[in-house]
Structure 1
Amino acid sequence: MADKNQLLLALLEILTSESDDRHILTTNQILELLKARYDIQIERRTLYSNIKTLQEFGHDINDYSENNTGYYLDSRQFEESEINLLCHSIHSSHIIPDNSSKQLIDKLLSTQNRYVKSEFNNRVYSKNYRKSKNKEFFLNIELLLEAIQQHKTISFEYTKYNHNKQRVPRREQKYQICPYDLVYVNERCYLIGFNEKHQSLSHYRIDKMKDIEILEKKFTRIIDFSSYDYTATKIYMYSGSETSITMRCDDCILDDVIDTFGTNITILKQEEDTFIAHISSSKDGLIFWALQYLKHCTVLEPAAIKTEILDIIEQAKNRYSN
């Protein structure tokens, strides 16, 4: 005979893994599962009293008095819709390595019953070939969080692909940064830090970082900033100072403009299905964006950016003409 705690845990596990409003367990089914899985034999009244105990401790168990059939776990730590969203996000995320994705998804699915697990795996599991190969990804995050909390400088290798599709260091010497914060932007996770050599903020993709080392050198944070305010002006995470930019756009890309630059911009409606947008952005990020929307967008100011875009268009025209 199991003790009270073992019985409660076994009963909760069975209700978690086997039941929902479409799969209601009868008293006999629960007793059989307790015997088969845990070699626990109890009387019906013991089962009823233990279910009541679980209910009193906050577990939302729908019982016979409500459904006239049996018992099921009516609510969980995560709802099925939340689990599907989180698991899809993890599986589709390029920055999380394949094995780590599977481990995370398994942890989330463990909060659901076996029917939800089976449906998700049958529906989703195709290979994601864009997954990061950096197996240090979560170790990197742990080290960075530790360094941020302790206000310690870090060193690391920052990598890039070579033509053999291998990650190689960008330079011989390691980077050294005062880590400030982690932020998730454009489906990538970045470290924002202070570069003491250049006396400026900079950012780095965590999946490209390797061999992170926490140094003994401590730092004092000298710039107070909001991570997401910082990234709001770094379109596509291009570096550079913030520049005020005016552009004329067709109404058909209004959603795209707001999706990219946010609602904290000025929009002035014009005639003939156009509008003027006043935004703040890094120059290179804005140019990259504007070239994608060349058919529907014209940069008006500053003149230097407009001239640079014209030069890029002319160079591209010449390449395509040859």
Structure 2
Amino acid sequence: MIYLKYVGRREKCIMPKGTNQKFKLYRLAQIMLEKTDEEHYITMPEIMESLAEYNITADRKSIYTDLRDLSVLGIEVEGEPIGNRYHYHVVSRTFELPELKLLVDAIQSSKFITEKKSNTLIKKLEKMVSEYEAQKLQRQVYVSGRIKTMNESIYYTVDAIHNAISENKKIKFQYYQWNVKKEMELRHNGAWYHISPWGLSWDDENYYLVGYDSDAEKIKHYRVDKMLHIRFSSENREGKEFFNKLDMADYAKKSFGMFGGKEQTVKLLVKNNLVGVIIDRFGKNVILFPTDDEHFTVNVNVHVSRQFLGWVFSLGDGIKIVGPDDVVEQMRSEIKRLIEHYS
């Protein structure tokens, strides 16, 4: 309510203050971010009405000043004359709507993020846009056969791994597997793994810890969602000399399904129509050698395992291992084993 107060001979318009005046700039920012965007505007009377809902009163002049002050907070507000009134809206945000849509899609389609955590993260992303644009983020990404992890502690496990790496400490954890009763079962009778963490790798929709096992004196990797009860060790990390020679991206590229195996250079004979498959897997730097009008050969460095052989097998007669001889023999043995298994 506006009332008049006499001060000497001059009339002065005094507006009673609401009980939450100290939150005025914060609430104004909230209103502008929630109720406006590139397509939705708000008028000065609507701003005053929205502030009143928070028991905050303000006159037009002070609101004009506050709208300018929002730029200090990184919130740029623009006023446009429409009809006989100015309409105000936020013109820039930290993230654009298409960028947030990509993040939402990535969260929903990520296997290692649980359904519960996916919903929580998306709700937080919705707060970064207006209430109108938030509705566009409430969309379902359908991925064939999508299975989400059930380990809710994975986010804290990842954080603990990063902290251990930054503080140069080993970690201890227990590792589980599923049994035929669909129960979590600790491996090695619940023994603790004592590992020097050096990095995290994303492969085949799963998160892996890549670390050094001092007892085995070699690099190993572990599914992060299968790690339990992670804790810091008092010991400093070991295996630095191994990781100084390791290209993490290259390591993941060579390991099919992150299964280990002897690293070898394998020569493949490939049909031209599968060139995209080779580039997608091994990158554009691979050298292709034309052999005839329909085929090329390529030398790739891989960890030879059943998973690698299975990948080759899955491509049918479009690809063939032609060297070295011991890998060709491994493929023959694997084919023979499968024939006997199904005969």
Whether the TM-score (by the shorter chain) exceeds 0.5 is yes
Q: Which has the larger radius of gyration?
A: 2
Pick which of 65-74 and 85-94 moved more. 65-74
Give 1:66-105 correspondences, 5 Å limit. Answer: 69-105=86-122
Q: CA deviation at 1:65?
A: 5.4
**How many Å separate the matches in 2 of 1:276 and 1:135?**
45
Aligned equivalent of 1:13, options 22, 26, 30: 30
Match of 1:138 in 2: 155
SS of residue in 1 equivalent to 2:40: coil
Conserved? CA contact 2:27–2:51, under 8 Å: yes
The CA distance in 2 between the partners of 1:159 and 1:53, in whole Å, is 54
With the length of structure 1 as denominator, give the TM-score of the two structures: 0.91
Identity rate, percent = 24
Distance 1:125 1:5 in 2: 42
1:171 — aligned with what? 188
Cα deviation, 1:283-303, whole Å, max 9, x if unaligned, reads 014313211112310011111
Tell me if structure 2 keeps the 8 A contact 1:287–1:305: no
For the residue of structure 1 that corresponds to 2:107, the secondary structure is helix
Equivalent position of 1:306 in the other structure = 328
Deviations 1:65-106 (A, max 9, x none): 599751111221111111111111111111112222222111
RMSD: 2.3
1-structure distance, mates of 2:103, 2:225? 20
Write the distance in 1 (CA, Å) between the matches of 2:321 and 2:133. Answer: 50
In the alignment, structure 1 residue 191 sits paired with structure 2 residue 191: no
Shift, 1:247, TM fit: 0.2
Q: Which residue, out of 17, 32, 54, partners 2:70?
A: 54
* 1:120 and 2:137 are equivalent in the alignment: yes
> 2: distance between equivalents of 1:238 and 1:295?
24
Contact 1:24 1:69 in 2 (8 A): no
Residue pair 2:21, 2:56 contacting (<8 A) in 1 also: no
State the TM-score, normalizing by the size of structure 2. Answer: 0.86
Match of 2:43 in 1: 26
Give the conservation status (yes or no) of the 8 Å contact 2:21–2:57: no
Q: CA deviation at 1:318?
A: 3.7
**Structure 1 pair 246/4, CA: closer, same or farther in 2 (3 Å)?**
farther
Contact kept, 8 Å, 2:105 with 2:141, in 1: the verdict is: no
Higher percent of residues as strand: 2
Deviations 1:109-147 (A, max 9, x none): 2111112222322x3178996111112111211221222
